[in-house]
Amino acid sequence: MRHDLARRVTDGLEPKNWILALTLVAGWHTARLPGIGWGAVSALFAAVLPVMFIRRGITLGRWTDRHVGVIRHRLVVMAFILASVVTGLTLMIGFGAPRPLIALTAAMFATLLGLALITPRWKVSVHAAVAAGAVLLGALTVSPWTLLLAPLVAVVAWSRVVLKDHTVGQVVVGSLLGPAIAAATYLLAA
């Protein structure tokens, strides 16, 4: 039962879901309907296209699951996502997206880059990093009330450890590194 709950948490609070929620809510908060459009552009390149790439890789037998646990496979996925996000970011800058959404997307890129640099040596938790980063970015872009979602970061971390996808150290480092990189980048770019 504990394992089943952990699996549901891991799947329900996976990075894509945090990214979709954050980009769309931040878009609305930043510029209402046009902001949702720009948030959708960010979500397309940071979540939707990456999920499609991962699913295609599973179909082709390149990796075994949507959380891409094998480090060498994870690096391929991270490289694709980084290229996708920088493409989206370039389009957002080129077509005049609101500055807070550009900064938010830059923060997502920088966070993943930091995680990708660590991953060849150690499997830091992307789930924990994205959850914690999204909570703090939500506080910076939408409302400090977003910090009330912080307990969900602990729940995500718990699920990753229960499933034996990560150690306690890997989720703790992800939970600290994600918001540190995301907030620093956002504040520099905003």
Q: Which two tokens stand for residue 187?
A: 């504040």
What backbone phi and psi angles, to 5 degrees, belong to 99? -55, -45
pLDDT, residue 183, reads 98
- Provide the pLDDT for residue 29: 98
Report pLDDT for 41: 99
Token pair belonging to 142: 């939408």
Q: What is the spatial distance between Cα 92 and Cα 24, in angstroms, rounded to a whole number?
A: 15
Asked whether 51 and 16 are in contact (CB, 8 A), the reply is yes
Reported as a single tens digit per residue, the pLDDT across 82-116 is: 999 999 999 999 999 999 999 999 999 999 999 99
How far apart are the C-alpha atoms of 76 and 43, rounded to whole Å?
20
Work out the pLDDT band at 33, boundaries 50, 70, 90. very high
Distance CA 184, CA 52 (A): 29
CA atoms of 27 and 124, how far apart (whole Å): 29
The DSSP string of 70-129 is SHHHHHHHHHHHHHHHHHHHHHHHHTT--HHHHHHHHHHHHHHHHHHHHTTT----HHHH
Percent of the chain with pLDDT over 90: 98
Closest Cα to residue 115, out of 99, 131, 101? 131
Find, among 72, 82, 73, the residue nearest to 50 by Cα. Answer: 82
Question: Could you tell me the residue range of the domain that residue 155 belongs to?
Answer: 2-189
Distance from first CA to last CA of the chain, Å, rounded? Answer: 44
* pLDDT value of residue 26: 98
What is the distance between the alpha carbons of residues 154 and 99, in angstroms, rounded to a whole number?
31
State CA 6 to chain mean position distance.
Answer: 19
Instruction: Give the Cα separation of 20 and 133 in Å (integer).
Output: 13
pTM: 0.97
CB-CB contact of 43 with 50 (8 Å)? no
Q: Summarize the confidence of residues 62-76 as an average pLDDT.
A: 93
Per the structure, the count of domains in the chain is 1
